[in-house]
Amino acid sequence: MRHSLNDLDARRLLGGSPVALVSTSWHGAQNVMPAVFVTPLSIDPPLIGVAVHPARHTHDMIKYSEEFALNIPTRELLHHVQYLGSVSGTELSKLELTKLPTFRARRIEAPLLEGCVGWIECGVHDAYRVGDHTLFVGKVAAVQVEKDAFDETWLLTDPEERPLHYLGINRYAILGDTMEARIPQPADIKRDVEAGAAELIDEAEAAERREREEQEKDRKSRG
C-alpha cells in the first residue's frame, strides 16, 4: 500500500549513504562534522561534492581554508558521529572534547581521524549555492584506505571495517551481503534482441538463487 510523504522526506528515501566525517583546519583551529550530502561528481579530474549548510562552522572553515578531508568512519565511531553532528564547533573544540586521535594528512592541513577506514583529502575547486546549502566541489589531492577493508571496492569482510551508513534521525546501518550482478557481454546483445534481455536476466537470477540456496544449505550443515 503506497502513501504520500512530505516533499522534505525525499532525501530520507535516498538514505543509506555512507557517512563522511568532514575535517577542517584554519589558523590553528580544527573542526569535524559528519556529512551525508556527499557525492562523486567527476572521474577525471577526480571531483567530489559535499553540500554544507551555511550555518555550520564547517562551512566557513572550508570557505576560508579552501580544503577539507573526508574520513570514512566505521561503527566504532557510531556515537562520536552522532555527537559531532549534534553540536557545533563554533564555540568549542569537538576534537579536544571527544579526544579523537588524529594524524597528519599528506597534502592538506586538515587532520585525519583514526578509527576510520578511508581518507580523502581535497582542495576546493568550486563552490555553488544550491538551495539552502553550499555545494563545495573538492579536487582530490590524496586518498588512503585501510588495506584489509578495500580492494577495488569495499570488501565488507570484517564487520568492524565496514563503512558506517546513515538512514536519518539517529539511525545507522552497515552493509551486509555482497552480490555480483551479471555483466552483459557483447555476444549477448544479439541474443538480447532475439530472446529479450528479460530471459538472460531470468537465467542470471536463477543462477544466483541456486548459489544462495547452496550457501544456505552449507551454513545449515555446518550447524
Ligand X SMILES: Cc1cc2nc3c(=O)[nH]c(=O)nc-3n(C[C@H](O)[C@H](O)[C@H](O)COP(=O)(O)O)c2cc1C
- Which residue's CB atom is positioned nearest to ligand X? 85
Q: Cβ 221 to ligand X, closest distance in Å?
A: 41
Q: Cβ 175 to ligand X, closest distance in Å?
A: 16
Half-sphere exposure of 189 (CA within 13 A, CB side): 3
Q: Helices 197-221 & 188-195, crossing angle to 10 degrees?
A: 110
Q: How far apart are the first and last CA of the chain?
A: 38
A 10 A CB-CB count for 7 gives 7
Which three cell numbers mark 140?
582530490
Q: Cβ 147 to ligand X, closest distance in Å?
A: 26
Q: Which is nearer to ligand X, 19 or 220 (CB)?
A: 19
Which residues of this chain interact with ligand X, rule CB under 6 A? Answer: 19, 31, 33-37, 51-53, 56-58, 81-82, 85-90, 133, 166
Q: Which is nearer to ligand X, 105 or 134 (CB)?
A: 134
Q: Which is nearer to ligand X, 16 or 184 (CB)?
A: 16
Q: Cβ 135 to ligand X, closest distance in Å?
A: 10
- E strand or H helix that includes residue 23: strand 20-26
Q: Which is nearer to ligand X, 58 or 65 (CB)?
A: 58
Task: Give me the helices (H) in 55-176, please.
Answer: 57-65, 78-84, 94-98
Q: Which is nearer to ligand X, 42 or 86 (CB)?
A: 86
Pairing of strands 153-154, 102-103: unpaired
Question: Rounded distance, CA 92 to CA 64, Å?
Answer: 19
Q: Cβ 36 to ligand X, closest distance in Å?
A: 4
With a CB cutoff of 8 Å and minimum separation 6, the contacts of 167 are 12, 15, 16, 173
Q: Cβ 16 to ligand X, closest distance in Å?
A: 12
| DSSP code for 91 | S
Q: Which is nearer to ligand X, 88 or 144 (CB)?
A: 88
State the burial class of residue 206 (Cβ atoms within 10 Å of its Cβ: 0-12, 13-18, 19+): exposed
